[in-house]
Amino acid sequence: MAQNMSAHHKMRGRGSKQFLLLALLYGVGAVLSLYLFWLSLDKDGGKFCELLQSNCLSVIASDFGVLWGFPVAGYGTAYFFMQLGLLFTVRRNRPSGDWRTWVPLLSGNLLAVAASLSFIYVMRVLLKDECIFCYAVHIVNVLSLALLFTMFLQNNPRGSEEDPGRNAGGWGYAMPLLLALTIFLGINLFATQKQLMAEQKKLGTNLNYFQYLYRNSPLHPIPITANDQVVGDPDVAIHQIVLVFKDGCRHCLAAKEKLAEEVQDYPEGVYLVLKNFRNFSAEELDKLGISRAPAVFINGKKAEGWDVPGFLDEFTAGCGC
């Protein structure tokens, strides 16, 4: 009898350690997802990734970084908080409870691993880019599923005979879902407000400052090569605009559309040259001062504030053409 009690206590102790480890994994996943979510709002936040020889910002800013209009990292953040809530619900029902209490937790983790595999494929095959913190999230998903499945098998749930009143019932699983939905809506509302504030700040920025930066930018003549795509007529237009882009980058696509409209409206003023980021060597990128895409050069000078209202007027409406 004493030996059985001792073995029981050891199992409970091991179960408690596994529970804490799994909660820690979900917590780490939530922190990583929040960081990636912040990158989708703040371009300067990607500098830490660059120090680790990774390009998180490019991956986050790609078309695959957004799902139904919201950053994918926002879904990840809500998911990890939901899993934490479900984990505590299962814990409250005791590991030896009905096996059905584990279904929501296991199902969520399985879907997360499936999503991780698809995103790894996107990074490795489609984007051909690296995001070290994205990989960290995927590793957390795999490790948490392995640990969760191990806990499920070790506890061998066959129905609880002790303290059935502790079963949380439907509300025990509804609350984590409500928590995840609240977090998801909250952080995306924050994202929307931040973007609006950024736009207002951009409109209020002193245009002269960006023009000053452009005038003092070093001159780097950028020839047209066979790999480039040209919009407009270089033999007619006065000014050259070069857009350095990356495949799958939604910010690059937006820049291309806006600059192409300028060429269409002012064909005698500007023409556009589209250059792929991958066609530059590391030395060329360093010389041009390019660390991320999109990057815009006008007449061989880097134009930091090209998208500020009024900046392009000098080369388009005000070019005298």
Pick the CATH number of 209-314 from 3.90.1580.10, 3.40.718.10, 3.40.630.10, 3.40.30.10: 3.40.30.10
Question: Strands 270-276, 239-245: parallel, antiparallel or unpaired by DSSP?
Answer: parallel
Token pair of 188, please? 């995306």
The C-alpha angle with vertex 33 and arms to 193 and 15, in degrees rounded to 5, equals 135
Percentage above 70 pLDDT, the chain: 74
The answer for residues whose C-beta is within 8 angstroms of residue 14's C-beta and 6 or more apart is: 154
Mean pLDDT of 3-25: 68
Question: Strands 270-276, 301-302: parallel, antiparallel or unpaired by DSSP?
Answer: unpaired
- Which secondary-structure segment (H or E) carries 118? helix 103-121
Domain boundaries, the chain: 2-203, 209-314
In whole angstroms, what is the distance from residue 73 CA to residue 191 CA? 12
Q: Is 158 left (phi over 0), alpha (psi -120 to 50) or beta?
A: alpha
Inform me whether the pLDDT recorded for 15 exceeds 80: no
Higher pLDDT, 69 or 271: 271
| Confidence at 195, pLDDT banded by 50, 70, 90 | low
Inform me whether the pLDDT recorded for 41 exceeds 50: yes
Q: What is the CATH number of domain 2-203?
A: 1.20.1440
In whole angstroms, what is the distance from residue 259 CA to residue 74 CA? 30
The answer for residues whose C-beta is within 8 angstroms of residue 211's C-beta and 6 or more apart is: 305, 311, 314
3-class secondary structure, 148: helix
The answer for residues whose C-beta is within 8 angstroms of residue 113's C-beta and 6 or more apart is: 141, 142, 145
| Confidence at 211, pLDDT banded by 50, 70, 90 | confident
Higher pLDDT, 88 or 7: 88
| Confidence at 20, pLDDT banded by 50, 70, 90 | very high
Q: What DSSP string runs through 262-321?
A: HHHH-TTTEEEEEEEGGGS-HHHHHHHT-SSS-EEEETTEE-TTTTSTTGGGGTTTTS--
Residue 220 identity = H
Q: Is this prediction's pTM over 0.85?
A: no
Please state, rounded to an integer, the average pLDDT across all residues of the chain.
Answer: 80
Q: What DSSP string runs through 185-252?
A: HHHHHHHHHHHHHHHHHHHHS-HHHHHHHHHTSPP------TT-EEES-TTT-SEEEEEEE-TTBHHH
pLDDT at 5: 44
